[in-house]
Structure 1
Amino acid sequence: MGDRMTPIPFGNLMNWIFEENKVSGSTFGIRRKFVKEKDKVLNIFGEKIETPFGPAAGPHTQLAQNIIAAYYSGSRFFELKTVQILDGEDLPVSKPCILAEDECYNCEWSTELRVPEAFDEYVKAWFALKVIAKEFGIGAADGFVFNMSVGYDLAGIKSEKVNTFIDNMKDAKNTPVWKECMEYLTSNVDKFKNVDKKFIESIPSTVCNSVTVSTLHGCPPQEIERIASYLLEEKKLNTYVKCNPTLLGYEAARSIMDEMGYNYVVFGDFHFKDDLQFEDAVPMIERLQKKAGGLGVEFGVKITNTFPVDVTRNELPSEEMYMSGRSLCALSLSVAYKLSKAFNGKLRISYSGGADYFNIDKIFNVGIWPITMATTFLKSGGYQRGNQIANKLEEMEYKPFEGVCVDGLAKLIEEIKQDKHHLKAIKPLPSRKMKKQVPLLDCFVAPCSEQCPINQDIPAYIKLVGEGKYKEALQVITDKNPLPFITGTICNHTCMNKCTRNFYEESVNIRSAKLEAAKKAFDELIKEVKSSDKYKNKKVAVVGGGPAGIASAYLLAREGAKVTVFEKEAELGGLVKNVIPAFRISKESIDKDIELAAKMGAKFEVNHKVESLEELKSAGYDNVILAVGAYNGRPLGIQCDNEVNAIEFLGACRKAPETVKAGKNVAIIGAGNTAMDAARAAKRLHGVENVYIVYRRDIKNMPADEEELELALKDGVEFKELLAPAAHKAGKLTCHKVILGEVDASGRQKPVVTEEEVVLDVDLVVASLGEKINSDYYKALGLNVTENGCPVVDFDTMKTSMENVYVVGDGAKGPATVVLAISNATKAVNSILGLDARAEITVESDINDAANKKGILVHSKDVKGEANRCLECNHICESCTDVCPNRANVAVKVAGSKMPQIVHVDYMCNECGNCLVFCPYGSAPYKDKFTLFANEADFKNSENQGFVLMDEAALNVKVRLGGKVYELSLKDSSCDVPKGIKDLMLSVCKNYSYLLMK
């Protein structure tokens, strides 16, 4: 496998388009085409565009099929990938070269093809778009515009290679590729319904009459002006000059980035000093405007060019990379504003920089167009996002360029700066990938369910809630989750971290959907709850009535076991009932989960402390589950006049807040979820004026969930970052300032305490450094414990060192989450009763409806509507096909398979790595999916599992599988490869022959 793409011959390209469209109605995997219906267009460069947007010069305009896919989904302006004198194998591009998980970075900058090959791709795309526009009836054949991009200095642009490219783009009729395309179309005109020979021969040979100039950072203004003047005067091209965000100045750019949460993005000031300065740019642009006007061609600026930043966390294999996407939007618009203000709105601006469905109408409304984009097309949904964008713009008023609304642009910038869609999250993004290798077949999977410790059937109940079938949804939930109210309210919902929807706008609100089902259907469900009697001879004692104990009781009782829960306190619920503040979860919600377990047949005894296991055995209990939690606090270990443990503090706040004497100023030492609860509870105490979270790291490195941090901030809690408490005396908390050093084993920068002091007025110090297990209790029961005081446990079964005794919940390993407690309980119950894991529950899904959600961005509005946002990944994934700019990952229907299988097409791949980022598995599809090779040489040059067709008539193939190479005929019924793989190869060869490079 190599990182060099093989362009598809025009005949193959057209055959692919029409064969795929005939069979599936899609084109290069794009299911929804945009059909231009309204009779309105915009004019640019003396040509018409039906929609004022399209792909930016980059990965989406490098190959013909990329441009075709973009057009089919709605794009009508194509900024072709930059060409320069350095090309092909001579161009150094580190791979992978794209990282678009959130804000986007790349380290590629020009076409990886040879310049003549790039020209061929653009001509093939030109013909293809003309033909499919008419044949498929999706738009006017002259309703789109190609815009070439060249760089990076005048000498290179004047070179024979680039100069020939420019001249041929202006008139391609005498080039070999033009003749190839024309000959194919006229020879195969009988294949078309709406395209005839006259139409084909009328296709204009001027592929492009405009250019966007790209220059390297540090290019002198005189050189930029010489390049633009040459293109205007000598080439008579409508010319736009790319402008860098460096025009803002270092301080302004740094300020915007910091304000929006991108303070971790590192860039020096040298580019800002070396690049074109604003005071030089304005007169230069004025001169070029005047020159263009005299020549009767258009001139403008393209905003923005690349924004270089440092590689600091091994993001890409380069020293410097270029930032784009949502983080670039405010910067790019600010450059547009600065220039627009200088030119009283009369400067034409072509725009790129964080444009997407949510803001493109606002950018267009202020008079800035055409608008190009790359990052949004690189994310899940891919080119299909263009369809929604085109439909949105189709509803807007089209009018000729009359100027940029400077005031409107200023307002838009401020709006973007406050827009959560553009602001960086408080904490670094969690990994969206599962720790599993992608299988060769049947790789569609719901990452949310896989991430859930109890593997809840999330897509099923989300769909049922959306249909208003709340009881059915709650039945699905309680099949694996005995605590729907508690988890529907306070679960840390790591399932939502893995939701593919995060790559669109925000996760499906899974937790809220669960709670909605619980609230709407509890009364109905409770009437129907009944248990089995299969294990009625089993008698199990559960010690502890918190979430782990209640869950254990429910699961045991459901199977018919006789189970009693012994709780030492007067009320059931454990930490959730007695410690977590009531403003987070109500007593009524907890009681409903307890009621479910009781209705299932569980018995509960409160005020009953179990002192020995003999007591239980003598009462006839043949198995014991210990669910005793972890309550022991960790002291600060410093001199402290008034210190209280967070658990004790929260318990008092919940039980009798009027008795808590906290004073005016409270400091919480620690920054986990418990610390946030303590801080928010303290804010609600009478007389408390200030509450501080004091922590030795910064907010991005605090262990609390982001949701908890946001809620604390919203409640007015003050965060005192990078402080290490030293002593508390006479109402003063003395802290030492901390600086962050090298990255430690946790992946965070190690805090280094300095001698510099900060003193805070603090009346009460709440220690929230985590809770410890009561190892003395386990020892007293006769259990073996580890060096750190935890019981010795087999975490597959939750068995302890004592026969028939199990430990679950916080008491097993230390403070964790409710859903992990349920997971522990499930393992223990399955072990006691000899049960297998419960099967996945699915509900019927229309795959086409699910697929049609791809590329549609919509923010969460109401819980019932979350079903429309759920992408139903347990039925269809195809993320790798969505995000590949080159369409190198293809979904193939295989006889006998429930869902299409993924084939990686080697010759179309340049190893950009984008599919690696968005595959939910811990894998790279371009390396790990079954691969189709164009020829034997490519097959030998790769380690991928895959095949090459050696003889089409005999269906002889060479296959690499499991480290072995086979030569066989697919006609042979006793073939040495698994049936699923054989069927996949047969399907490619017979039904997808257009994938075969002939």
Structure 2
Amino acid sequence: MGDLMRPIPFRKLLNWVMEEYEKYRTIFGIPQEKFFRKRREGYLKLFGEYLGNPVGPAAGPHTQLAQNIVTSYLCGGRFFELKTVQVLDRLKLAKPCINAEDECYNVEWSTELSVEEALEEYIKAWFLLHILEKEIYGVNLRSFIFNMSVGYNLEGIKSCKVDSFIEGLKDASHTPIFQECKRVLKEEIKRFHAVDEEFIEGISPHICNSVTLSTMHGCPPGEIEAICKYLLGEKKLHTFVKLNPTLLGYEFVKEALYQMGYSYIQLKEESFAHDLQYREGIGLLKRVQDFANEQQRLFGVKLSNTLPVKITRGELPGEEMYMSGRALYPLTINLAYKLAAEFNGRLKVSYAGGVDAFNIARIFETGIWPITVATTLLKPGGYLRLKQMAEELEDHLEDGQKEIIDVEKLEELAASAFKDLNYHKEKRRVKGRKITKTLPLTDCFVAPCTVGCPIGQDVPEYIRLVGEKRYLEAYEVITQKNPLPFITGTLCPQFCAYKCTRLDYEEPVCIRELKKVAAEEGYQAYLSKLKKVEAKSPAKVAIIGAGPSGLAAGYFLAKAGLDVTIFDQKEKPGGTVQYVIPHFRISREAIENDLELIKRTGVKFELGIDPDFSVDKLKKNGYKYVYLALGATKSNPLELKTGREKVIGALEFLEQFNKNSEALELGKNVAVIGGGDSAMDAARAALRVKGVEKVYIIYRRTKEYMPANREELKAALAEGAVLKELLSPYSWVKGVLRCQKMELGEPDASGRLMAIPKEGEFEDIPVDTIISAIGQRVDYEILKKNGIEVNERGEVAVNPATNETNLENVFIGGDALRGPATIVQAIADGSKVARAILEKEGMAPVSSRVMPSFDQTRRLKEITQKKGFLKNSLQEKDHERCLECGFVCNLCVEVCPNRANIAIGVESENLKSLNQILHVDGMCNECGNCATFCPYDGAPYKDKLTLFWNEEDFANSQNNGFLLIEDGKEPVFKLRIEGNVFTVKFNAAGEAYADLEKGLVDLIWAAFKGYKYLFI
């Protein structure tokens, strides 16, 4: 029933595990080759018990259900902080409750099961882990530890309900579920190879002798101390108490988040005032530590709890949410240092707070452990990320173990944390990874990079070809849609990268760099076999403008056999790329290589012509079609109160720089006004002009809102440009540029915070030359002169499907249509116009390639190995990081904590993908995590075909899905498709006695025949 989870009976859970493993060598979707296996002997010891490694899932979504705990174990988790229980276990929470797009937010409280159900889940998991450890790993010595978590006040913890839970985990022997699990295992003993009755009898009923105390934000210090002493003294439990990042203080946390680029996170100062204060916290910890020593129990702190923040952008329902994840790491590790220093390293710290594969070993080396994770497991790769972390730790485990924290080493780590770019917002600034497509019921695998590319480049295909050193084929794949691989391989803004799934791992694949490799290695071989296309149509095409858009249109038209001439007023083709983009960004040789490819297709050029063209004249000269691919050549004027005479436009300056930089005289100090790519080019070029000592980039907002490509901004700053944020030029008198100071206000229509003048506040900057880079515009007069409709807002009237203007057979694209745009957007317009002209001629675009073939088994195996493995970019080796999402995606499977999305293998001529996604209703609590990471504008938990376990849940859902209502050779299902409910019988061959889409029939039948264990 939507968010209502149905715990799976132990026998069926055991059957699921055993049958899936026997059939597919997977368990809960985790393939055998991704199971964690220790490479070294040796254990740690905690609470008097052995521990195979000190990492595992934190109290949260990954320890709520038995299957979650099993999945964590298989991937390397050995310390399990069970999800918190509390007396109020029937709360109805608003959904979705998790948003882990980057730093994670949640509005969860405790487990969504009743306290009694939670106890049963943990005991079921306890038994399953024993069986797996013996059956799969052949280990006799238990290597995992369960740690219970309770909250949130003493009265609730003392209640009969929670007390029974605590006692049940301390000794489960008297509980019905413990006895049931033992009985079922004995009855199913023939299914095992290594497990015998003696082993089953030997499974200890003592599941937990430790607890992590979770208290609500604002819990009084006296209450915290009383609960700790109760758990230590009366319950005789080793105890960790969870502390909040608020101990660091409001100003410290606010400034830290701002410096790391998370300025949009809004804190509530009262949350800090109401929480435990640092000095009284130290006193509390020392008193409880002394008490624990008297009780001969271990006491420590769990760092840290989540950070309460305001909900300001509708991320989740409500007014307040709790932040975790990578933004929390520098805060938590600094809190750990402060506390460790207070206790001279003699305070046990259980750690969670932005842990991932990049920092876990460094944290452990300080003597901090156990280490638990949650947010990183909510991201693509999911539980598989545990394997890398467990393997990272293995190399750092010592024969002995550290009882005291190395305070000096921890101090170094804490100091470096704020500088570590892996935890800065800038490292993974996501600009909307979703693609604007509806999530289909079947065959949903898609490469977001390809969809995000304006020309639909087959990115994963050419990346794999580069990886296999099949450069000629890679070049052919690229030039099928892009005739400028050298130019785009150097200058493309990489819209594809903003959609790359690796953004949710660490950083996008360097797609552009790999395109450049393909171009450099495949170009000569391709040209050597290229033949000029014979004319296939008498129609002549005139293209005005030899920039990227005109070049692209000419290439595709000539390739198809049309007579094409490109006209341009400049002496060389290439437009902005040739004349404006600085030489230090792209070589002339790279440009010439792309131009040579276009010339080889038969495109003719008329260069150095009068820019005042006439469409009528072109048509009278026999050109049936005209494509206006004009650039945006007019700079927007810079508004200054005084001193406008020495302002030079960025395009004019860059053209002069490329022509002869030695002839430029800019003075010592240069100000570049603007925050786009042209501003960055101008700043970098100005720094190379003789006599220039200082270059200032003046921008009215802050760096995070600059539209410039991040790498171009970084390059400008690295080369010495000085960024002056929150300034707007006001006047320029006698070599002094006076700038109005600005501040950020409310969001504007673009979502950026508005820049608002600070009345009466100015900053003066010595400036000899101002370069204005505040945008360019098109000369619309020449369009109007030729009879093309342009409204007062500069919008050209076109057919959006073809870009044909009000004049028949006259098309427009590139900057002339959309205003200043990128090279790849210009190519997209040229491609669209070429297709439209070919369609008018009754011709189809020519395909010069066959889709490359790959060893699909090897391909799948290699992709599987990459899943869950964090690895920063190596550029030339980045093919090793591409996840090839269009071939196999399964992101919704990976990120679901409850394993409610299942990858079903379907052999069907009616379906394209390797597997199909089936959603299991009874295992879903509608947390929303799969919706966050699905590439589509959709939610798998709502939009994918759903398997229901009972009539009630089927009736209370609106999902497309099915329910088995009669088993046997000819099973009967109740189906709901597009709101229509009906009953369907299948015959023994898997054919439905109903008019259903065949792919859908094949999916249901595959689930029934091959995955019967799912039908609980």
TM-score, normalized by length of structure 2?
0.95
Unaligned runs of 5+ in 1: none
1:963 aligns with 2:979: yes
1:830 aligns with 2:832: no
1:19 aligns with 2:35: no
Out of 703-712 and 923-932, give the one that drifted further: 703-712
Q: How far apart in 2 are the matches of 1:789 and 1:189?
A: 78
1:708 CA displacement: 2.5
Q: How far apart in 1 are the matches of 2:170 and 2:78?
A: 19
Aligned to 2:128: 128
1:868 CA displacement: 1.5
Instruction: Give the counterpart letter for 1:900 in structure 2.
Output: N
Aligned to 1:853: 866
1:781 aligns with 2:780: no
Instruction: Give the counterpart letter for 1:42 in structure 2.
Output: L
Q: How far apart in 1 are the matches of 2:80 and 2:305?
A: 16
Give yes or no for contact 1:34–1:73 (8 Å, CA) kept in 2. Answer: yes
1:874 aligns with 2:886: yes
Aligned to 2:223: 223
Give 4+ residue runs of structure 1 displaced > 4 Å after superposition: 138-141, 835-840
1:38 CA displacement: 2.2
Residues 895-920 of structure 1: CA distance to partner in whole angstroms, max 9, x if unpaired? 21441100111111111000011000
1:367 aligns with 2:367: yes
Aligned to 2:458: 457
Aligned to 2:936: 921
Q: For 1:386-785, list aligned pairs within 5 A.
A: 386-398=386-398, 399-425=400-426, 428-533=429-534, 535-609=536-610, 611-638=613-640, 639=642, 640-758=644-762, 759-785=764-790
1:719 CA displacement: 2.4
Give yes or no for contact 2:984–2:992 (8 Å, CA) kept in 1. Answer: no
1:139 CA displacement: 4.5
1:615 CA displacement: 3.4
Q: How far apart in 2 are the matches of 1:532 and 1:27?
A: 56
Q: How far apart in 1 are the matches of 2:269 and 2:824?
A: 48
1:531 CA displacement: 4.0
1:238 CA displacement: 0.9
Instruction: Give the counterpart letter for 2:761 in structure 1.
Output: E
Aligned to 2:823: 818
Out of 758-767 and 26-35, give the one that drifted further: 758-767
1:663 CA displacement: 2.0
Out of 52-61 and 173-182, give the one that drifted further: 173-182
1:321 CA displacement: 1.1
Q: How far apart in 1 are the matches of 2:23 and 2:791?
A: 63
Q: How far apart in 1 are the matches of 2:755 and 2:258?
A: 22
1:264 aligns with 2:264: yes
The alignment partner of 1:656 has SS state of: helix
Query: Using a 3 Å threshold, how does the CA distance of structure 1 residues 636 and 48 change in structure 2: closer, same or farther?
Result: same
The alignment partner of 2:820 has SS state of: coil
Out of 135-144 and 503-512, give the one that drifted further: 135-144
Match 1:76 to one of 74, 78, 103: 78
Instruction: Give the counterpart letter for 2:350 in structure 1.
Output: S
Give yes or no for contact 1:325–1:353 (8 Å, CA) kept in 2. Answer: yes
1:983 aligns with 2:996: no
TM-score, normalized by length of structure 1?
0.97
Instruction: Give the counterpart letter for 2:285 in structure 1.
Output: I
Give yes or no for contact 1:641–1:729 (8 Å, CA) kept in 2. Answer: no
Query: Using a 3 Å threshold, how does the CA distance of structure 1 residues 651 and 266 change in structure 2: closer, same or farther?
Result: same
Aligned to 1:172: 172
Aligned to 2:959: 944
Residues 760-779 of structure 1: CA distance to partner in whole angstroms, max 9, x if unpaired? 32222222221111111112
Give yes or no for contact 1:428–1:700 (8 Å, CA) kept in 2. Answer: no
Query: Using a 3 Å threshold, how does the CA distance of structure 1 residues 534 and 188 change in structure 2: closer, same or farther?
Result: farther
Instruction: Give the counterpart letter for 1:253 in structure 2.
Output: V
Query: Using a 3 Å threshold, how does the CA distance of structure 1 residues 737 and 890 change in structure 2: closer, same or farther?
Result: same
Query: Using a 3 Å threshold, how does the CA distance of structure 1 residues 676 and 170 change in structure 2: closer, same or farther?
Result: same
Q: How far apart in 2 are the matches of 1:810 and 1:857?
A: 39
Give yes or no for contact 2:974–2:981 (8 Å, CA) kept in 1. Answer: yes
Identity %: 48
Q: How far apart in 2 are the matches of 1:92 and 1:714?
A: 52
Residues 102-151 of structure 1: CA distance to partner in whole angstroms, max 9, x if unpaired? 11111112111110100000000000000011111264551100000111
The alignment partner of 1:252 has SS state of: helix
Aligned to 1:43: 45
Q: How far apart in 2 are the matches of 1:139 and 1:806?
A: 72
Q: How far apart in 1 are the matches of 2:440 and 2:900?
A: 18
Instruction: Give the counterpart letter for 1:849 in structure 2.
Output: E
1:684 CA displacement: 1.9
Q: How far apart in 2 are the matches of 1:536 and 1:524?
A: 29
Cα RMSD after superposing both structures: 1.8
Instruction: Give the counterpart letter for 1:995 in structure 2.
Output: L
Instruction: Give the counterpart letter for 1:895 in structure 2.
Output: E
Q: How far apart in 1 are the matches of 2:536 and 2:800?
A: 24
Instruction: Give the counterpart letter for 1:575 in structure 2.
Output: T
Instruction: Give the counterpart letter for 1:232 in structure 2.
Output: L
Q: How far apart in 1 are the matches of 2:610 and 2:442?
A: 53
1:801 aligns with 2:802: no
Q: How far apart in 1 are the matches of 2:423 and 2:458?
A: 32
Out of 801-810 and 713-722, give the one that drifted further: 713-722
Instruction: Give the counterpart letter for 2:654 in structure 1.
Output: L
Residues 14-53 of structure 1: CA distance to partner in whole angstroms, max 9, x if unpaired? 1111111111111111121112342211100111111110
Residues 832-880 of structure 1: CA distance to partner in whole angstroms, max 9, x if unpaired? 11255769945423223222321111111141x2222110111100000
Instruction: Give the counterpart letter for 2:1014 in structure 1.
Output: L
Q: For 1:276-291, list aligned pairs within 5 A.
A: 276-291=276-291
1:174 CA displacement: 0.9
The alignment partner of 1:852 has SS state of: helix
**Alignment: residue pair count:** 994
Out of 486-495 and 701-710, give the one that drifted further: 701-710
Out of 407-416 and 55-64, give the one that drifted further: 407-416
Q: How far apart in 1 are the matches of 2:706 and 2:261?
A: 15
Instruction: Give the counterpart letter for 1:501 in structure 2.
Output: R
Q: How far apart in 2 are the matches of 1:454 and 1:138?
A: 53
Give yes or no for contact 2:310–2:321 (8 Å, CA) kept in 1. Answer: yes
Instruction: Give the counterpart letter for 1:431 in structure 2.
Output: G
The alignment partner of 2:480 has SS state of: helix
1:213 aligns with 2:213: yes
1:161 CA displacement: 0.7
Q: How far apart in 2 are the matches of 1:530 and 1:18?
A: 60
Aligned to 2:915: 900
Q: How far apart in 1 are the matches of 2:128 and 2:9?
A: 12
Instruction: Give the counterpart letter for 1:338 in structure 2.
Output: K
Query: Using a 3 Å threshold, how does the CA distance of structure 1 residues 322 and 661 change in structure 2: closer, same or farther?
Result: same
Q: How far apart in 2 are the matches of 1:613 and 1:552?
A: 17
The alignment partner of 1:433 has SS state of: coil
Q: How far apart in 1 are the matches of 2:532 and 2:940?
A: 45
Instruction: Give the counterpart letter for 1:490 in structure 2.
Output: L
